[in-house]
Structures are given as structure tokens and as C-alpha cells.
Amino acid sequence: MVEFKRKKGETFESFLRRFNKRLQQSGSLYDARKNRYHQKSKNESAKKKSALIGLELRHKKEYQRRTGKLKDDLMNHW
């Protein structure tokens, strides 16, 4: 992290301009914006757990559809 201090007799506008220029040159603002919405990928156990949950839900929906408790037109929304 780079620290900035106002020079003696420097106006705030010139200090702000110098700060923004250095921030752009360092690339830290670019990296922060690039990683802003980055989500970590799931580990193996989390992938397996979500796959098992999805499989169980599909089996329940299929059972309900076969027994007539779930209408066929609702299946298209899933």
C-alpha cells in the first residue's frame, strides 16, 4: 500500500490529481474492480453435496409427476 501526503503549498485538486494518477499506474484499483464479484469455486465435497440434493429433488418431482400430484405443464417451468 502506497501512502500519500500533501506537499507543502500543494492545492487539494493537484494532490487529488497526483493521487489518482499514481493509483491508476499501480494497478491496484484495476485489480480491486476485477475481483469485486469473484466467487470462490466449490470444493469437491460441496459439489458432491449439491449434486446429491439436486438428484433427490429430481426424484421427488418425478415421483409426484407419476402419481399425478404434479401437473405436466408445471414441469416446463423447472
pLDDT single digits (tens) 46-78: 999 999 999 999 999 999 989 988 876 655 555
State the pLDDT confidence band at 29, using cuts at 50, 70 and 90: confident
Distance between CA atoms of residues 58 and 51, nearest Å: 11
Q: List the domain boundaries for the chain.
A: 53-78
The reported pTM is: 0.44
| Cβ–Cβ < 8 Å for 5, 12 | no
Q: How far is CA 13 from CA 10, 18, 19, 27, in A?
A: 8, 9, 10, 21
